[in-house]
Amino acid sequence: MMIKYEVESKEMYYTYIVECKDGTFYTGWTTDVTRRITEHNEGKGAKYTRARNPVQLRYYEEFMTKKDAMKREYAIKQLSRKQKMQLF
């Protein structure tokens, strides 16, 4: 019988929204918001933001698990622009 243990991680996960220079929003998740924004602005982030930088952080939420952060990212991506703006 194999016993599966979950390793407790002190690492936090974040879902975030950035506003691109063209006014569009990009939503993602990360373990380090500051590093990720820097990556986006250096053209090392998501393909979507590469041609739309600089980006500005508009909103973020903190989660204990990667799964929760990814679920929230998906949920935010389903929102309308107006609904996203109501978050911040």
d(CA 66, CA 31): 9
Strand ranges (DSSP E) for 1-88? 13-19, 25-30, 56-63
Strand order of the sheet with strand 56-63?
Answer: 25-30, 13-19, 56-63
Domain ranges of the chain: 13-87
pLDDT grade, residue 10 (50/70/90)? Answer: confident
**17-67 per-position pLDDT tens digit:** 999 999 999 999 999 999 999 999 999 988 999 999 999 999 999 999 999
Instruction: Look up the pTM and report it.
Output: 0.85
Number of CB atoms found within 10 A of residue 30's CB? 19
Q: Any residues with CB less than 8 A from the CB of 37 and at least 6 apart, and which?
A: 16, 18, 55, 57
CATH topology of domain 13-87: GIY-YIG endonuclease (3.40.1440)
pLDDT grade, residue 3 (50/70/90)? Answer: low
